[in-house]
Every structure is written in C-alpha cells, then in structure tokens.
C-alpha cells in the first residue's frame, strides 16, 4: 500500500494508503498514529537542521 501510494507523485498520504490497502477492512489506532506522526516530525526537523549545518560548512574540496 505504501509503494502504490508513492508511485504517482513520490508522496504518501494516509488516504492513499487506505485506498491502496489490500483488504477491504483497515483498523487505524489513532493514538499510535499520532505518536508516529510526532516522531516523524521530529526526525524531519532534525534532518532539515542538519541540512542547514551542512550547507554552511566551508568547502574543503572533498
């Protein structure tokens, strides 16, 4: 379901995953989903901060 959701535009939404899920019934545990989103946001923010640091490093010719 995740791969099928990302095929067209390289992005994944919850709605696309649910639409592409291989069974007709899906159980979503909202509390766990919220925790996962919060963790993903933390990781995403850290990556953006690291990109900023890397972009500001002096060019050492490697």
Q: Is the pLDDT of residue 27 over 70?
A: yes
In the chain, DSSP finds a helix count (H) and a strand count (E) of 3, 0
Q: Which residue would you say has higher pLDDT here, 49 or 11?
A: 49
pTM (two decimals): 0.53
What are the b/e assignments for 29-62, b being 16+ CB within 10 Å? eeeeeeeeeeeeeeeeeeeeeeeeeeeeeeeeee
CA dihedral angle for residue 40, residue 41, residue 44, residue 45, rounded to 10 degrees: -150
Please give the average per-residue pLDDT across 35-48, as a whole number: 95
Tens-place pLDDT, residues 2-22: 888 888 898 888 888 888 888
Q: What is the pLDDT of residue 62?
A: 60
Rounded percentage of the chain residues whose pLDDT exceeds 90: 37
Q: Is 11 left (phi over 0), alpha (psi -120 to 50) or beta?
A: beta
Q: Is the pLDDT of residue 53 over 70?
A: yes
């Amino acid at each position: 379901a995740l791969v099928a959701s990302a095929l067209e535009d390289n992005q994944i939404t919850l709605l696309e995953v649910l639409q592409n899920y291989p069974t007709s019934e899906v159980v979503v545990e909202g509390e766990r989903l919220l925790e996962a989103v919060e963790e993903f946001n933390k990781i995403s923010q850290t990556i953006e901060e690291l990109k900023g640091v890397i972009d500001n490093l002096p060019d050492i010719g490697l």
